[in-house]
Structure 1
Amino acid sequence: MAFQTPVTVEEILTSIHRKEYLLPAIQREFVWSADQIRWLVDSLMRGYPIGSFLLWKVKPDTVANYTFYDFLTHYHERDNPYATKATVPNGSGVTAVLDGQQRLTALNIAIYGSHAEKRKYAWWSSPDAFPKKRLYLNLLDDADPDEMGLRYDVRFLTAAEAAPEDGQPDQWYPIGAILNLANAGPALNGELANRGIDLNDVSPYQRLYDLYEAVRTRKPINYFLEKAQDSDKVLDIFVRVNSGGTTLSYSDLLLSMATNQWQQLDAREEVRQLVQELNTGGTRAFSFSKDVVLKTALMVAGVDLRFKVSNFTAGNMRKVEDAWSTTRAAMIKAASLLDLFGFTNRTLTAASVVVPLAYYLARRGLPDSYLTSSADARDRLAVRQWVTRSLVKRGIWGSGLDTLLLRLRQAIDAHGGDSFPAAEIEKEMTTLGKTLAFEPTEIDELLELKYASQRTFPVLALLYPGLDLSKEFHEDHIFPRSRFTRKRLQGAGIDDDLVDDYRAAVDLLPNLQLLGGVPNAEKHAKMPAEWLAQAFATDAERQTYLNENDLRDLSLDLKDFLAFFEERKQRMRKRLSSVLGVA
């Protein structure tokens, strides 16, 4: 390994765009935030060191043994978050980046590219949710001293945000445009003059000059070049140099090793596509990670579940690849089943629950018809009850996950050939100190759950299992929250001494129910008695609803809300205790 002559940012980015530098598959995805990119550019402009880089000179006869990726230039959180696979011409060598990918990608985006991340509260499906932004330098002002410790005001802005107001100087300078200036003297003055900026003020010139120096003159890119072609040595170097910063996870390494060792499939592309399918396919709305996918792949392949380098052998990777089609199909069915149970990314409190569920489906080789077949209804109910209980109970899917999954795999192998072995699974969980038995104090805790809490949906699903959760259901306030402002309660004649009690109780479980999406929209802010009178065609339907939701014979008058709340709470406690086996 030899230290090389430092180069400018412009020189190394030019080499990247000539595809002389590529990313090996053992690199993780780009994970830096927009603020991290701003911080890096600010550091460069201040002349601060940005760390050394490690490059690997890969000879033409070695290139064919590896998969390489191009650098990401235009980052889009939804549509283009990943680097694409590079095509290396036959007989060509490459220089692979072993350490420094995040910094170089950040510089590439800052100078050549753009950044588009979702606006807060915007819908993922909205075409306007991801505004395209480039990095700009404010020529007229420095950064607010309280913002991240930045000196230079560098921001990601849309073209509209960067445009000057009528009659005002054009103060936002696109960072990448610095590459177009002929020199650091007259060309800078000409640029400032064209933007209507007063040349008597030296500060704008200094800021633009500092940017020019940072990108085109100073040589902050210090790097070592490794020339060995031994893959084991290179992997060892890579693991060691990535022991700091945003640490490379073992799942990243596993995916990287699989990419190099799978014979027929591209592991990284397969996992990417599956993650997207799991999270957004059909009516699903989840946030499963590649870690969950890889853990399931190991489980289905029958190999050691732990993310340890010693498990990333060619033999294990061959088993994972051979079982991939089974893993993929089982995971999609498992995610679809969770969707049919009514779960979303908000209410699925532990993504790892999909791992044993997918393994069970794979172990039995169950077809897609399992999701809806009446013949499998009893089995699906057993699965749903176990999944829901494990999500409601604290501490099941936290520490000791690998040991838990191993025992679940053994229980399913031994007892899951014909049906879901809930009893045997719970027995194995109990031996690990992860019992699904509940104590009375836990029932009390569950009754204090609030609206939109992660566990609220599964608890309501346990309480009222007759709902067809394959349809859209919402958590709904029986007494509408909008009626519980202090002003409206006082206007309704509620004693001032009781107003705080009303407001404290309105969002708690005893005032909540699961209601279909359309009925919930129609109910809106109606009081319960008014809604009941309109929502059901017959009195028999109305009484069935009241019975099934623990509302029969309860007063639905706002003045009796606290009595309603306490009585329904007792009914829910009794029902929960029965469902969860608490004496």
Structure 2
Amino acid sequence: MSYNPKTISEVVSEFVNRTTFLPAMQREYVWDTDGIERLFDSLMGDFPIGVFLFWKIREENKNQWAAYEFIREFDQENPHNKEANLNGINQDIYLVLDGQQRLTSLFLGLKGSYRYFYYKWNKTKLYLNLLKAAEKGDNPEELTYDFKFRSSSEPDPRDPSPQHWYLVGDILNFDDAEDAKKNVKTQLAAFSEDQRDSANALIGRLHSKIHTARLLNYYEEKSQDYDKVVEVFIRTNTGGKKLEYSDILLSAATAKWRYLNAREELHSFTDEINAINGGYSFGKDFVLKSCLYLTEGLPIQYKVKNFNRINLERIEDNWENIKACVGTTVNLIGKFGYSDKNLVSKIALLPVALYIGLSGNKGSVSSTNATDVANQVRIQKWLAMTLLKNVFGGSSDTTLRNLQEVFSTVSDLSTFPYEALNRRLGVETRFSKAEVENLLGINYCTKYSYLILSLLYPDRDWKDNAYHEDHIFPKSEFTEARLRHRGYDEAKIRSYLQSFNSLANLQLLTASENLEKNATPFDEWLPGKDANFKARHRIPQMQSYSFDNFLEFIEMRSALIAERLEQALF
């Protein structure tokens, strides 16, 4: 394997966004300013920055693949790459398979800017403090050189050390190092001779690393076989940040959609559903899986061959329907209080989205029609039970396909067919005693706690109400010091500490109720509640709800919860 050595100035000035671009299979840029500063520090410190892998595409094949520009002006508010226009390029092009993050960082540091939010929005460029002597400490994490992303070259008045901030990108303006030094000579005139010598040495070293040393070594992958290139890409990226398979498939998808830009559509819609209800973390994999699942007649497995031109054109034709079904589903579960933390399996939403599409009722989120409301409750409960029973934890593709077949055989989809779905899943519509025992062991704010608690309130109106998990007996009282101050022995203290986060000490309150209760002792707060409060929250009848009776309360409420869960069936 032979590598092609290039200088950094040659690559960033003559290659990047001229003949060298990014394939759609690449993930987006993820480095922060600290990472870029460290990369330049490594360059100046003679540390290797790794090799690169470029895919050489012959001129006659360049329009078969979507290419994207390297980001020059990075903006955290809009971090997406722009599609490259290859029409005026009459030669072979390169797509970077390995090294995108490093190459983008070099490009940003030398030719671009980085806009980020820290208390306020800051548009910054990379500077080097020419007056800081290179110091190599014992801590390998400490930087040797003073590279910083800054809004201007003005000295920081809070830093008493000598400063002269040199815009790193200016080094590209000089083919000769001596010319670069002469350019700042007058600016350094007020400093001591030692400081001027140090500054000139840094400029000379920076110039050498950018213009002279051939530090960028890349290998050319010349195959025009897409499947081979995908395999090469996966193998070379296994050590970095985990790539979604959708990142790989996007290259094919983007090239084969006829009217829409698949990458932009996919990114935009993923951002859209992730912004619902305070924020989710749906990935592009989930959206692409939705495309396969919600488009009639398509296989649902993630395989490159399933994203052929015919299938992708069918997905493109169905794209608006896919967005409507998935968006309605995410809005619906958001109104039921499903958050990113308690949505244990995101693919569990796909059968719901399929039902919404087949039933033709995409307005069900806001509907107050009696049938729609009943369906909403069925969906909410079915999701909770299937997630708690881990229905989608095994062979998920098989499970999804089985449910897809159920919908194709049900003649009346005016109501959510939970019975038929459960029969096909082989799922009991109630919890066994063993399952209830396991559920009672769930603790506060874990991924299952909200789901279990939601089943304790069968008549609650979930929509448009935010419910918080609340400790019935305030958790602030459960510290060893406070418990010991009450005169409890070690065994009792241990029992209290083991039980205060348990399901039996949790309830779901509205935001206003939770704020009102705060850390008020339960026996003081309870008398002001309405007559149905105890029944609604499964609070046991006791002579006293004082803190001393906490363990008795836990035992009695556990029994009430177990009884409710055993009855929680359709």
Provide TM-score, normalisation by structure 1: 0.83
Q: What is the letter of the counterpart of residue 81 of structure 1?
A: P
**How far apart in 2 are the matches of 1:204 and 1:212?**
12
Residues 468 and 510 of structure 2 are in contact (CA less than 8 Å); yes or no, is this contact kept in structure 1? yes
Residue 414 of structure 1 deviates from its aligned partner by 1.7
**How far apart in 1 are the matches of 2:236 and 2:325?**
36
**How far apart in 1 are the matches of 2:200 and 2:411?**
73
Which residue among 444, 456, 460 is the counterpart of 1:451?
A: 444
Matched residue, 2:71: 72
The yes-or-no answer on 1:383 pairing with 2:382 is no
Residue 312 of structure 1 deviates from its aligned partner by 1.9
Mean CA deviation greater in 512-521 or 13-22 = 13-22
**How far apart in 1 are the matches of 2:165 and 2:395?**
52
Residues 75 and 81 of structure 1 are in contact (CA less than 8 Å); yes or no, is this contact kept in structure 2? yes
**How far apart in 1 are the matches of 2:294 and 2:123?**
40
Q: What is the letter of the counterpart of residue 253 of structure 2?
A: A
Matched residue, 1:336: 331
Residue 203 of structure 1 deviates from its aligned partner by 7.7
Residue 380 of structure 1 deviates from its aligned partner by 1.9
Matched residue, 1:15: 14
Residue 220 of structure 1 deviates from its aligned partner by 2.0
The yes-or-no answer on 1:243 pairing with 2:239 is no
Residue 522 of structure 1 deviates from its aligned partner by 2.0
The yes-or-no answer on 1:348 pairing with 2:343 is yes
**How far apart in 1 are the matches of 2:337 and 2:299?**
32
Which residue among 467, 471, 478 is the counterpart of 1:473?
A: 467
Residue 239 of structure 1 deviates from its aligned partner by 3.5
| Cα distance change of structure 1 residues 209 and 355 upon mapping to structure 2, 3 Å threshold | farther
Residues 439 and 452 of structure 2 are in contact (CA less than 8 Å); yes or no, is this contact kept in structure 1? yes
Q: Spell out the pairing of 1:108-127 with structure 2 (5 A cutoff).
A: 108-115=107-114
Q: Spell out the pairing of 1:12-91 with structure 2 (5 A cutoff).
A: 12-15=11-14, 19-32=18-31, 37=36, 40-45=39-44, 46-48=46-48, 50-57=50-57, 59=59, 62-77=61-76, 79-89=77-87
Matched residue, 2:477: 483
The superposition leaves residues 365-422 of structure 1 with CA deviations (integer Å, 9 ceiling, x where unpaired) of: 223145433222222222111111122234x333422222111211222227413222
SS in 1 for 2:421: helix
Question: % of aligned pairs identical?
Answer: 29
Residue 181 of structure 1 deviates from its aligned partner by 6.5
The yes-or-no answer on 1:295 pairing with 2:277 is no
| Cα distance change of structure 1 residues 38 and 578 upon mapping to structure 2, 3 Å threshold | farther
RMSD: 3.6
SS in 2 for 1:453: coil
| Cα distance change of structure 1 residues 130 and 526 upon mapping to structure 2, 3 Å threshold | farther
Residue 330 of structure 1 deviates from its aligned partner by 0.2
The superposition leaves residues 514-563 of structure 1 with CA deviations (integer Å, 9 ceiling, x where unpaired) of: 111122122222222333344x4xxxxx1211111111423321222222
Matched residue, 1:539: none
| Cα distance change of structure 1 residues 140 and 80 upon mapping to structure 2, 3 Å threshold | farther
Residue 74 of structure 1 deviates from its aligned partner by 3.8
Q: What is the letter of the counterpart of residue 374 of structure 1?
A: A
Which residue among 416, 422, 425 is the counterpart of 2:418?
A: 422
**How far apart in 2 are the matches of 1:448 and 1:406?**
33
Which residue among 249, 253, 272 is the counterpart of 1:254?
A: 249
Q: What is the letter of the counterpart of residue 83 of structure 2?
A: K
Which residue among 373, 396, 399 is the counterpart of 1:401?
A: 396
| Cα distance change of structure 1 residues 441 and 3 upon mapping to structure 2, 3 Å threshold | same
**How far apart in 1 are the matches of 2:84 and 2:126?**
26
**How far apart in 2 are the matches of 1:203 and 1:17?**
32
| Cα distance change of structure 1 residues 501 and 196 upon mapping to structure 2, 3 Å threshold | farther
Mean CA deviation greater in 178-187 or 62-71 = 178-187
| Cα distance change of structure 1 residues 453 and 196 upon mapping to structure 2, 3 Å threshold | farther
Q: What is the letter of the counterpart of residue 427 of structure 1?
A: R
The superposition leaves residues 273-328 of structure 1 with CA deviations (integer Å, 9 ceiling, x where unpaired) of: 111111114x4522111110100100111311111122121111112112111111
Matched residue, 2:158: 165
Provide TM-score, normalisation by structure 2: 0.85
SS in 1 for 2:210: helix
**How far apart in 2 are the matches of 1:464 and 1:300?**
32
Matched residue, 1:563: 552
Q: What is the letter of the counterpart of residue 453 of structure 1?
A: T
Q: Spell out the pairing of 1:411-560 with structure 2 (5 A cutoff).
A: 411-415=406-410, 417-418=412-413, 419-430=415-426, 438-470=431-463, 471-491=465-485, 493-497=486-490, 498-534=492-528, 536=529, 542-554=530-542, 555-560=544-549
**How far apart in 1 are the matches of 2:438 and 2:319?**
42
| Cα distance change of structure 1 residues 145 and 136 upon mapping to structure 2, 3 Å threshold | farther
Q: What is the letter of the counterpart of residue 523 of structure 1?
A: K
Residues 193 and 199 of structure 1 are in contact (CA less than 8 Å); yes or no, is this contact kept in structure 2? no
Q: What is the letter of the counterpart of residue 112 of structure 1?
A: K
Matched residue, 2:102: 103
Residue 508 of structure 1 deviates from its aligned partner by 1.8
Which residue among 264, 267, 278 is the counterpart of 1:269?
A: 264
| Cα distance change of structure 1 residues 215 and 400 upon mapping to structure 2, 3 Å threshold | farther
Gaps of 5+ in 1: 120-127, 537-541
Q: Spell out the pairing of 1:198-237 with structure 2 (5 A cutoff).
A: 199=194, 209-224=204-219, 233-234=225-226, 236-237=228-229
Residues 24 and 248 of structure 2 are in contact (CA less than 8 Å); yes or no, is this contact kept in structure 1? no
Residue 329 of structure 1 deviates from its aligned partner by 0.5
Matched residue, 1:123: none
Mean CA deviation greater in 270-279 or 374-383 = 374-383
The superposition leaves residues 99-149 of structure 1 with CA deviations (integer Å, 9 ceiling, x where unpaired) of: 232331232234334556677xxxxxxxx377666556674464665555x
Residue 64 of structure 1 deviates from its aligned partner by 4.5
Mean CA deviation greater in 107-116 or 299-308 = 107-116
Q: What is the letter of the counterpart of residue 72 of structure 1?
A: I
**How far apart in 2 are the matches of 1:106 and 1:196?**
32
Task: Give the length in aligned residue pairs.
Answer: 554
Matched residue, 2:388: 392
SS in 1 for 2:407: helix
SS in 2 for 1:199: helix
Residues 274 and 280 of structure 2 are in contact (CA less than 8 Å); yes or no, is this contact kept in structure 1? yes
| Cα distance change of structure 1 residues 421 and 35 upon mapping to structure 2, 3 Å threshold | farther
The superposition leaves residues 188-216 of structure 1 with CA deviations (integer Å, 9 ceiling, x where unpaired) of: 59589579688279887766654433322
Residues 325 and 357 of structure 2 are in contact (CA less than 8 Å); yes or no, is this contact kept in structure 1? yes
